[in-house]
Amino acid sequence: MTSPDPDKTPSPDAGRRRFLQQSFAGTAAAAAGLTIASTSHAHAREVAEAAEPEVTNDVDVLVVGGGTAGHVAAIQAGRAGAKTMIIERNSQLGGTTTTGGVAFPGLFDAWGKQVIAGIGWELVRESVEMDQGTLPNFAKVPQRHWQNQVFTNQFLYAILAEEKCAEAGVEIAYYEFPQAVKKTDGGWEVDCVGFGTRRKVRCKQLIDCTGGAEVVGMAGFPRLREDERQPGSYLFMLGEEHEPGRNQIHRLYVHGADSTNSRTATEANLTGRKSILAKVRKEGKRLMHLQPETGFRESYRIEGETVVTVNDYTSGRVFEDAISYAFYPVDLHTRSGVKPKPLKPGTVPTIPLRALVPKGSRDLLVAGRCVSSDRLANSGLRVQASCMGMGQAAGVTAALAAKSGSTPREVPLAEIHALLKEHGQIVPGKA
Ligand SMILES: Cc1cc2nc3c(=O)[nH]c(=O)nc-3n(C[C@H](O)[C@H](O)[C@H](O)COP(=O)(O)OP(=O)(O)OC[C@H]3O[C@@H](n4cnc5c(N)ncnc54)[C@H](O)[C@@H]3O)c2cc1C
């Protein structure tokens, strides 16, 4: 059953007020010589200064979350000439593809031809070629859908993504995340924190690529999630070497895995690693590889200007505002595993721009697994090539909106399609 966002997100201003109040309380205590009577004036000054950001950025496009969709969105916006910044709470780009260890992106092809290309494909292809790996032959329709997924070296992929961000002029801020977002006349003000860093980013367009639409929730727009979600998985290698870009990593389900907040994500990691330790003890084999965190299949989805239904997905509906193709079976994992439901021959689903726009929002887009869709449609839409396609479309749309001073839904679709094609993407509809 789908329920509205149970995470009672405080209003954007409430978070900021609390931050200021806490800082002020600290300053007042210091001034009164109460809790930190013996500390120096320097300490008191530091506490007072904690109320103000140390770093301020003015950008056209801010991408929050540098995962599968996010780094593609940022590279695209940068290549389109927008001043772009990316905020990522982890230590590298790629998200579930790299940090989660699911370096097996799919599907870029359908029924004998490529349907998703662009920046995501460029990165996958270059990683494989540099790694002397093997690319699938898209002219051949595989017996099983996963046979055309691409074994990719997760380490190379993450570094190449950084190089492409640098070439596109994208500024990267790791170890940071938004603490409050505020709508302004010209876009958004986003207060971020990291260790030793407080940053205010003023941007014209904001793209939420956090996987679970965290910024959308923070901004007060509706999100949906199921009472029971698909299990997460923890990836590792037991008893054999992990050869990046050559083999699938071992994985075990983490039932109940929940990426909602740091407490639930901690719980998922503890559960996953505990199960792996039990397996090591039971099988007496060497632990050869361990990813740093759980991969989450499902959490929040946005309620967008339109919702892609499983019927839209399985019938291959070509939306009037389609910006990207998607291709994968309906793929819902449960406690008893997964039985993928392949699409009928010739069917290629599309993703409408409106599914990337939180309902009632301006200057805000999402890309990735939080796309506005019902649960079954989402189980197919969430895969990496589709997330990359959405990321590129969001990057193009945000860059065009920032340039023309409009909001994503006001950007003419023909301009979005033209710029996507210029940057190597395949666009649904008549060629
Ligand atoms: C176990 C597993 C197996 C899968 N198998 C496949 C497969 O074989 N092939 C396939 O194509 N797909 C597969 N998928 C699906 C696919 O990998 C994911 O759905 C997809 O990668 C999600 O992309 P995303 O960009 O939405 O999110 P992510 O790639 O998860 O990126 C989100 C990013 O945002 C960052 N972030 C989150 N919150 C914040 C915040 N508040 N501030 C700053 N940064 C933040 C995260 O650190 C992360 O880097 C699998 C998924 C899982 C979990």
**Predicted structure pTM score:** 0.91
CATH 3.50.50.60 domain span(s) along the chain = 57-227+301-333+350-422
331 lines ligand 1 (CB under 6 A): no
The tokens for 244 are: 């990046």
For residue 380, report the distance from its CA to the centre of ligand 1, in Å: 14
Instruction: Answer whether 357's CB lies under 8 Å from 407's CB.
Output: no
208 lines ligand 1 (CB under 6 A): no
What is the C-alpha radius of gyration for the chain, rounded to an integer number of angstroms? 22
What are the residues whose beta carbons fall under 8 Å from the beta carbon of 176, sequence distance 6 or more?
A: 87, 88, 89, 192, 193, 194, 197, 199
Dmax (CA) for the chain in angstroms is 75
Distance CA 262, CA 331 (A): 27
Q: Which of 74, 19, 88 is nearest to 51 (CA)?
A: 19
Q: What is the pLDDT of residues 301-338, one digit of tens each?
A: 999 999 999 999 999 999 999 999 999 999 999 998 99
The tokens for 424 are: 């190597």
Q: What is the pLDDT of residues 134-156, one digit of tens each?
A: 999 999 999 998 999 999 999 99
pLDDT computed for residue 21 by the predictor: 35
In the block, tokens 């109460």 appear at: 34
Question: The domain 57-227+301-333+350-422: what is its CATH number?
Answer: 3.50.50.60
Summarize the confidence of residues 215-244 as an average pLDDT: 96
Segment holding 172, helix H or strand E: strand 171-174
Checking if the pLDDT of 80 tops 70, the result is yes
In the block, tokens 């230590």 appear at: 91
Q: What is the dihedral of CA 89, 95, 98, 99, to 10 degrees?
A: 50
Tell me whether strands 364-366 and 197-208 are parallel, antiparallel or unpaired: parallel
For residue 130, report the distance from its CA to the centre of ligand 1, in Å: 24
Summarize the confidence of residues 374-399 as an average pLDDT: 98
Tell which one of 383, 386, 390 to mutate to probe ligand 1, the residue whose CB is within 8 A of the most ligand atoms: 383
Checking if the pLDDT of 230 tops 60, the result is yes
pLDDT computed for residue 167 by the predictor: 98
Measured CA to CA in angstroms, residue 373 lies from 61, 64, 287, 320, 351 at distances of 25, 21, 38, 16, 10
For residue 98, report the distance from its CA to the centre of ligand 1, in Å: 9
pLDDT computed for residue 16 by the predictor: 36
pLDDT computed for residue 74 by the predictor: 99
pLDDT computed for residue 430 by the predictor: 64
Which ligand 1 atom is nearest residue 296's CA? 53
Segment holding 199, helix H or strand E: strand 197-208
For residue 100, report the distance from its CA to the centre of ligand 1, in Å: 7
pLDDT computed for residue 289 by the predictor: 97
Q: Which residue has the higher pLDDT, 32 or 199?
A: 199
Q: What is the pLDDT of residues 182-194, one digit of tens each?
A: 999 999 999 999 9
Distance CA 87, CA 76 (A): 16
